[in-house]
Amino acid sequence: MSTQGGNHLDVGEATVEAGALRAAMVDELLELGAIRSPTVAHSFRRVPRHLFAPGATLRAAYTATGTVVPLRDERDRLVSTVSAPHIQAMMLEQAGVTAGLRVLEIGSGGYNAALLAELVGETGLVTTVDIDPEVVARTRRCLDAAGYQRVDAVLADADDGVPGSAPYDLVIVTAAAWTIPQAWTNQLAPGGRLVVPLRLRGLTRSVVFESDGGRLVSRDYQTCSFVPFRGVGAPPEQVILLGGEDAVIRLEEPPSGDVEQIRQAATWPRIAAWSGLSSGEAFDDLQLWLALGLNDFGLLMARQAAVDRGVVTHAWPLGIPTALGKGSFAYLALSPKTVEQASREFGVYAHGPEAEILAAEFVARIRSWRGTGHRARIEAFPAGTPNAVLPAGGVVLDRRDRRLVVSWPDDVKLPG
């Protein structure tokens, strides 16, 4: 934005260091492929990220894959973060933001709103909304300090959008959403886009939706991780502790089996079963395939301490796909690394009295995956849409406001 170009940074040595670190961050984002367009690269070069990360060191503020955590609640859970630059760049590229657009950002922090302000320019509009007064106040302070007074920061439950500035050409959501409130699409201009990190049985995918005959249809999706929504849009969650808080299974729906028996299954010997499918396949899409085809699906969230204690064999930052059975659980694994093998094999570790049965079902689902090139189609229909109208063969996830349907191309049939 031409009126904001002269005085973004602190003076003195901090200015020089911040500028050098920012340039290096942009170079890394280009190398990672997170930034793909000159306009997004320009916006990242313009906005002083460190001014939106109070308390963080300059180096931490400009780490391309690093998240800054400015706010936790009384239980030490993440409430607000300044998302990692590579995730923000990915979503901005997904959104295709151009000059003159009217944009609503749902979930505030300030930095992403400033990037959007650079992209829409003087002729565009950016409104950012959050439910937390502390977050909104910090957002306003940071935007003002960085010279982005034109961005409007609103305190409200984002479930209702911000009707006062509607319609919007783009609604971009920066918190993990379990559903898509009707207000978000009601406030979209004709031909507008919605970019939302959507929770699908615990997995989060940044989905680009466009309206098509009363439904929303995905045009792209990418793996991501965001702080979940609060307020009426908060996702449901069931947590099963496996002998301590360093290893838990998180589910969006209550399990059909007995929770205490599942908890005790962690003390049973571990069995392994292997699929023959190489880890060179599209891993992110495989996770979605598992989530929508296994009963009682959840994510095993483990810390290294749980691995060290032998409760689980490994820990992945975004969680390990897990299936529950009768007093048993099974989770996705990779075969041990060897010098001879360039790739590893997908398999399952399972515990409990039904471990072998559960592992066999899990492995069968892995083997049914056809691999690279098959992307899911995600559609969102209004709540109450009859089953006869929904796409045949898809997995239906009923949510408040929406019926989500996830399906695969015709040449990939869902088992059963």
pLDDT tens readout for residues 176-219? 999 999 999 999 999 999 999 999 999 999 999 999 888 999 99
The reported pTM is 0.87
Q: What are phi and psi of 62, to 5 degrees?
A: -110, 25
Q: Which tens digits make up the pLDDT trace of 162-180?
A: 999 999 999 999 989 999 9
Is 2 catalytic? The answer is no
State which amino acid sits at residue 61.
A
Cα 8 from chain centre: 30
The residue whose two tokens read 């093998």 is 341
CA 254 to chain centre: 22
What pLDDT is stored for residue 213 in this prediction? 84
Side-chain-side CA neighbours of 298 within 13 Å: the count stands at 26
246-296 residue pLDDT tens: 999 999 888 888 999 999 999 999 999 999 887 665 677 889 999 999 989
CB 49 within 8 A of CB 85: yes
pLDDT(415) > 70: no
pLDDT tens, position by position, 322-366:
999 989 999 999 988 776 666 788 999 999 999 999 999 999 999
Which pLDDT score is estimated for 5?
A: 37
User: Considering 80, 83, 108, 206, which one is annotated as catalytic?
Assistant: 83
pLDDT at 90 over 90: yes
pLDDT averaged over every residue in the chain: 87
- Predicted pLDDT at 341: 66
Contact between 5 and 146 (Cβ < 8 Å): no
Whole-number Å distance between alpha carbons of 284 and 167: 34
Pick among 3.40.30.10, 3.40.50.150, 3.30.1280.10, 3.90.1150.10: CATH of 70-233: 3.40.50.150
